[in-house]
Amino acid sequence: MTYQLYYWSGIPGRGEFVRLALEEAGAPYLDIAQTKGGDEKLVTLMKASRVQHPSFAPPFLKAGSLLIGQTANILLYLGERHGLAPKADAGRLWVHQLQLTIADLVAEVHDAHHPIAGSLYYEDQAAEAAGRTKHLRDERLPKYLGYFDGVLQRGGSGWLAGKRLTYADLSLFQTMEGLRYAFPKAMRRLETRYRQLAPLTNRVAGRPRISAYLASDRRQPFNTQGIFRHYPELDA
Amino acid sequence: MTYQLYYWSGIPGRGEFVRLALEEAGAPYLDIAQTKGGDEKLVTLMKASRVQHPSFAPPFLKAGSLLIGQTANILLYLGERHGLAPKADAGRLWVHQLQLTIADLVAEVHDAHHPIAGSLYYEDQAAEAAGRTKHLRDERLPKYLGYFDGVLQRGGSGWLAGKRLTYADLSLFQTMEGLRYAFPKAMRRLETRYRQLAPLTNRVAGRPRISAYLASDRRQPFNTQGIFRHYPELDA
pLDDT at B106 over 90: yes
A89-113 and A141-155 helices, crossing angle to 10°: 160
The reply to whether B174 falls in a domain is: yes
Task: Please tell me whether residues B56 and B99 are part of one structural domain.
Answer: no
Same domain? B95 vs B77: no
pLDDT band of B49, cuts 50, 70, 90 = confident
Q: Chain A partners of B96 at a C-beta cutoff of 8 Å? A: 70, 73, 76
Contacts of B145 (CB under 8 A, 6+ apart): B190, B193, B194, B197
Domain final position from A65, A81, A97 = A81
| pLDDT of the residue at B120 | 97
Residue A20 has pLDDT above 90, yes or no: yes
Residues A75 and A97 in one domain: no
What pLDDT, on the 0 to 100 scale, is given for residue A48? 85
Cβ distance B54 to A100 less than 8 Å, yes or no, reads no
**Percentage with pLDDT > 90 across chain A:** 97
pLDDT attached to residue B48: 85
Average pLDDT, integer, range B146-171: 97
> What is the reported pLDDT for A54?
95
Which CATH number goes with the domain that contains A46? 3.40.30.10
- B69: which strand partners? B60
CATH number at residue B202: 1.20.1050.10
Q: Which residues of A touch B (CB under 8 A)?
A: 49, 52-56, 65-66, 68-70, 72-73, 76-77, 89-90, 93-94, 96-97, 100-101, 104, 107, 111, 115-117, 119-120, 128, 131-132, 135, 139, 143-144, 147, 150-151, 154
pLDDT tens-digit readout, A137-172:
999 999 999 999 999 999 999 999 999 999 999 999
A98, A203: one domain? yes
Would B112 be classed as within a structural domain? yes
Whether residues B40 and B72 share a domain: the answer is yes
- Partners of B49 on chain A (C-beta within 8 Å) are 154
Range of the domain at A122: 89-227
Total structural domains within chain B: 2
At which of A49, A81, A113 does a domain end? A81
C-alpha distance from B64 to closest chain A C-alpha (Å): 11
Q: Answer with the one of A57, A81, A105 that is the final residue of a domain.
A: A81
Q: Does ipTM top 0.95?
A: yes
pLDDT for the residue numbered A84: 98
Q: Say how many C-beta atoms besides its own lie within 10 A of residue A60's C-beta.
A: 30
Residue-averaged pLDDT of chain A: 97
Domain-embedded: residue B228: no
Q: Is B45 part of any domain?
A: yes
The answer on B124 and B23 residing in a single domain is no
Identify each DSSP E strand in chain A by its residue range. Answer: 3-6, 29-31, 60-63, 66-69
User: Is residue A15 domain-resident?
Assistant: yes
Kindly report the nearest CA distance between residue B91 and chain A, in angstroms: 9
pLDDT at B50: 87
- The amino acid occupying position B194 is Y
Note the pLDDT of residue A210. 98
* Residue pLDDT, tens place only, B181-199: 999 999 999 999 999 999 9
For residues B72 and B103, membership in a common domain is answered with: no
Q: Is A185 exposed, middle or buried (0-12, 13-18, 19+ CB in 10 A)?
A: exposed
> How much is the pLDDT for A204?
98
Same domain for A44 and A62, yes or no, is yes
Q: Does B111 lie in the same domain as B57?
A: no
Confidence band for A49, pLDDT divided at 50, 70 and 90: confident
pLDDT classification of B206: cutoffs 50, 70, 90: very high
Average pLDDT along chain B: 97
pLDDT at residue A24 greater than cutoff 90: yes
* Among B133, B128, B141, residue whose Cα is nearest residue B229: B133
